[in-house]
Structure formats: structure tokens, C-alpha cells
Amino acid sequence: MLGAEARLAWLLVSPALFVIALIAFYPVFRAFLISLQRVQLQFIKFGQPFVGLGNYAQVLTDDRFWNALGNTGLFTFVTVLFEFLLGLLLAVLMNIPLKGRGVLRASVLIPWALTTVVSAIMWQFMYNDQYGIVNALLLRFHLIAEPIIWLGKPSLALISAMIADIWKTTPFMALLLLAGLQVIPADIYEAARIDGTTPLQAFFRITLPLLKPAILVALLFRALDAFRVFDLIFVLTGGGPGNSTETLSLLTYIKLFREFDFGVGSALAVITFICVVLISYVFIKVLGARAGEV
Amino acid sequence: MKLSARGLLYLLIGFVLILMLFPFYWILVTSLKTSGEIFSFPPTLFPKGLNWANYLSVFTRQPFHIYLKNSFIVASLTTLFCLLLGSLAAYALARLRFKGKGLILSIVLAVSMFPPIAIVSPLFLMLKHFHLLNTYPALIFPYTTFAMPLTIWILTSFFKQLPAELEEAARVDGCSPMVTFSKILLPLAAPGVFTCAILVFISSWNEFLFALTFTTSNLMRTVPVGITMYPGEYEMPWGTIFAAAALVTIPLIALVLLFQRRIVSGLTAGAVKG
């Protein structure tokens, strides 16, 4: 029997939980069911026969899937690594009491707030091999001898997309880390300084260990975000050239809405979901990210 | 020596500032160039003249005002629903004693980890079944769901910060929990509610995947999808595209600059306690 307070509490949380259950959890379950059927949207009136794990077999034997998984994994690893290193540097910089710190803190919010699609269009324009500013600057400072075809070469296109992502999301990482830096009490540094610790030693022995919880949470959320990258790739390269920048989300979208194959598309969706669960598991159970307290 | 270290830091700050702000400058400048100037190499850092024609063609080539209206309606209603449902849940989580809090928080947390692509196919079929494709609810429901974790965290952490004595006093005076909530806590948590509103609004304003898949009629498109509709088959009307980009970006930048502190406190709410 629930007390009056508990009854009220459940009453208050139930609308939010209902929406989450209906629009997030139930669809995952449905996606799993669809992934066990042959569902071709144009021929849906001819039925949706049960095919067991057939769609999964089709996905797992398709090189295009492994290519997309590889691209997504590489994209996630490289962008999160650089966002972390640059973000940490930026956070430390923003934490130094200097004039103009306020301007810096305000301006790093701009890439964060920018619509991803707009940012992707902007980078596409800046990367253009005929009239883009990126080549113009590199040529101007004699860093390259001839224009680079950033988005037209399979070897460069994914790197170009990574740079665009790092530009946009490093500030967010920096703000999360800055918040972590600000709660480290100043007396610790003071005590360390008196004990003769150099600033560099202090950074590795005090700052980093104390910042670890904030770092893990920031890395977890960035990794999950990078893993589902869609908007940026969709607009910047459309997955090309060839399939060199195709990610899991993009491949899933193509199967669903270009080939209208909801069975295979849903199998891909479920696989993406499982990957995300695995990433979260590694961060929370293995590395000990305490995301529950966010 | 000390001076040069400081100089170096300022140099670094200057470099970061340029890096962060230049692309926005480039959007504005390109939107004011003629197409002849846009396609010239090397690009001009300052436009030769102010060519406002692009801002007109934004509206004549595509119904951009309708995209703006759609985005505005969807983002506003999403914000409203999120605050409504989220503040009730957050109040219970922050202030009431009951079992299962941990479970609820983990469920909410799990949603923030969901890849949207994983639920696009079933949601599409569900919306199709109920004839909701190409409607505002088709976007408002998923947006509300995905913004719910953020809303609940921020509001819970704000409610927790409010002094408990106020509620005690209200209880002694005979106020019911709901009256205490609506008359005392909610007004006090207004800054938190406002912070949350900005963040939810921005995230719904920027959303792309659901908007792309659940709206196919040009008149139901939101800005992020609409802006990808400008490229022609043979030409890339960069001037027009960047004028559109400037029009969606300027309000966002205004929001960011006006409410900078709130946004930062909202984004990092609780993250530091972890």
C-alpha cells in the first residue's frame, strides 16, 4: 500500500514516463519485431512474412555494413579523442583569470548553438576545391602547393567531416570540463604549491584525477553523440565519395527511406542500438562513469 | 618573462576566438556577395558591396517564411510540453519521498542515450498508421520525448537547490503539496525553468533526422530541412543558402549572447556533481 506522498509522486512522474515509454521504449521493441520480418514499404499490402534472423544475416554479410560500422567507429574514436584533448586545453584556458575570459566563454557557445545542418553547409562551402577559403588560406601561407580536393577523395572526406565535427563540439566538451575544473577547491593547489609541486605536476596529480568523473561523463555523452552522427554527413558528403563517409545512421536511413526496405533498415537500427548499449556499458561498468548522477 | 607568457595566452585566446567566430562571419559575408564574387578565387575577405538580393531570393525560391513558422510552432510547443511534464516529474523526484526514484532516473537517463535512428522506422509506421505524417504532432511528440531527460535533470537539480524550509512553512500553514509546488516552488525555480526552456527550444529548432523523415510536404518542413532544399539540379545558389543560414543563425546567436550564463549553467547542471 502506497502512502499519500508516494501516490502523488507516481502520479506526477507518470505523464513523463508514459511519453517516454510510448515514443522511446515501445518503438525499440517494435523495431526489433519489424527486423524479423520482410517489410518492403512499396509492397506492404502483400504482407510482412516472418523471416527470423534473415535480415540480420543479410546485414552481417554485407560489406557495406562493415564499412559503415568501421567509418562510424573511426569517426567516433577520432573526434571524441580530439574533442577531449582540445576541450581540456580550452577549459584550462577559460579557467585562467584573464581579461576577455567572458568573451571567450560566450563565443564558444556559438558553434554549439549553430544548427548542425547550417554548420555542415558552411563547411561544405569552405572545403570547396575551386573557391573554398580553406584551400585559399593554405595556399596563401604556402602550406600546400595546389588546391586539395577535401570532399572528393575517399581518403580525405572522412577526415574533413571529423574536422567539422571537432570544430562544432569541442566547445561543449570544454564547457563540461570547465564546470568540473571550477569545483576543484583552490586550497589544494595552494597546498601543493607550498609543497614545491610544479604547475605541470599539479595538473597531472591533482587536476586530472579530480576531474576524472567529469571527464568520463563528458566522454560518454560525446561518444554516444558521435556514434549516431547523421546530419553532418548527410549534408556534407551524403556518405560519399563512394561509401567512404557512410555511417551506420546514414546507411540505416538509406535502407529505410531510399530503398524502402524496413526489414533490413530495422535490423540495422537494432544493431546500432546494441552498439550504443555496449558503449554505455563499457563506460559505466568498466570505466566507472557515474552517469546516473548527472 | 611573465609578461610574454601572458602575451602568449592572449595570442592563444585570440586564435581560439577567430576559430570560433570566423565561420559565422563567413556566413554573413557570403550572404551579401553576388554569385560572381562567391565563385571567384581566392575568396574576398570583405564583400565588395552589400548585395541584399540573396535575402529576397530566400523567400522567393522556397517558402522560407513557412519553414520559419513551422520551426517556431514545433519548437515552442515542444518546449511547453516538456516543461509541463518535466516540472511535475522533477518536483516529485526532487522533493517527494518514494521508492523507485533511482529506477526512474535510470530510465530517463537511458532515453538520453537512445540513437534516434533506432526508432525512426517504427515511429514512421506508427505515425503513418494514425495519419500523423506531415503534421506538427509528428515532430512535437518525438522532440518532447528526446528533450525530456535534459528537462528532468535540469529542473530536478534546480528544485533540489531551493531551501526546504519554505515548503515546511507552507505545509504548516496547511498548503497541499500541489499548492506548494505551483505557488511556491515553481515561481522560485523560474530561472531554472527558463534555462531549461532555452535549451529545449534550441535543440528542437535544430533537429534534423525526424524532421527529414516525418515531413515530406514542402509546406510542413522545418528550417533545417528546408534549408537543404535550395540547391538546384545544376547550380549551387550559395548566396541564397547563406542568406537563409544567416536568418536562422542570428536569432540563435542572440539567444546565446543574451542568456549565456543560464545556458552554461543548464548544460553543466549536475554534470559536476558526478
Class of the CATH-defined domain A43-293: mainly alpha
With an 8 Å Cβ cutoff, is B124 touching chain A?
yes
Alpha-carbon torsion, ordered A56, A57, A60, A61, to 10 deg: -150
Three-class DSSP category at A37: strand
Pairwise CB contact (< 8 Å): B12 & A176: no
Measure the CA–CA gap between A129 and B37, rounded to whole angstroms.
16
- Residue range A94-124, pLDDT digits in tens: 888 887 788 888 888 889 989 999 999 999 9
How close B23 gets to chain A, by Cα (Å)? 7
Q: What is the pLDDT of residue A283?
A: 86
Other CB atoms closer than 10 Å to residue B94's CB: what's the count? Answer: 19
- Residue range B66-121, pLDDT digits in tens: 999 999 999 999 999 999 999 999 989 988 888 888 888 888 888 888 889 989 99
The three cell numbers of residue B38 are 562567391
Element containing residue A154 per DSSP (H, E): helix A154-182
Measure the CA–CA gap between B36 and B34, rounded to whole angstroms.
5
Specify the higher pLDDT residue, B55 or B109. B55
Measure the CA–CA gap between A261 and A255, rounded to whole angstroms.
5
With an 8 Å Cβ cutoff, is A282 touching chain B?
no
- Residue range B126-135, pLDDT digits in tens: 999 999 999 9
Q: What is the pLDDT of residue B206?
A: 93
Three-class DSSP category at A261: strand
User: Chain A window 87-106: which residues touch B at a Cβ cutoff of 8 Å?
Assistant: 90, 93, 96, 98, 100, 103-106
**Domain locations in chain A as residue ranges:** 43-293
Pairwise CB contact (< 8 Å): B213 & A257: yes
Q: What is the pLDDT of residue B272?
A: 41
Three-class DSSP category at A214: helix
Pairwise CB contact (< 8 Å): B260 & A109: yes
Three-class DSSP category at A40: strand
State the alpha helices, DSSP H only, in A100-144: 101-107, 109-113, 116-127, 133-140
Ranges of residues in chain A whose predicted pLDDT is under 50 = 292-294
Pairwise CB contact (< 8 Å): A34 & B23: no
**What percentage of chain B carries pLDDT values higher than 90?**
39
A interface mutation test: which of B38, B117, B171 has the most A CBs within 10 A?
A: B117
ipTM of the complex: 0.90
With an 8 Å Cβ cutoff, is B162 touching chain A?
no
Contacts of B89 in chain A (CB under 8 A): 12-13, 15-17
- Residue range A127-152, pLDDT digits in tens: 988 888 888 888 888 888 888 888 98
- Select from A80, A127, A59 the least CA-distant residue to A228: A80
Q: What is the pTM of this model?
A: 0.91
Measure the CA–CA gap between A276 and A249, rounded to whole angstroms.
12
Crossing angle of the two packed helices A208-227 and A63-95, in degrees rounded to 10 = 140
Measure the CA–CA gap between A292 and A12, rounded to whole angstroms.
21
CA angle A39, B111, B146 (to 5 degrees): 85
Three-class DSSP category at B270: coil
Q: What is the mean pLDDT of chain B?
A: 87
Contacts of A214 in chain B (CB under 8 A): 271-272, 274
Domains, chain B: 63-229 (1.10.3720.10)
- Residue range A237-254, pLDDT digits in tens: 988 898 999 999 999 999
Pairwise CB contact (< 8 Å): B224 & A17: no
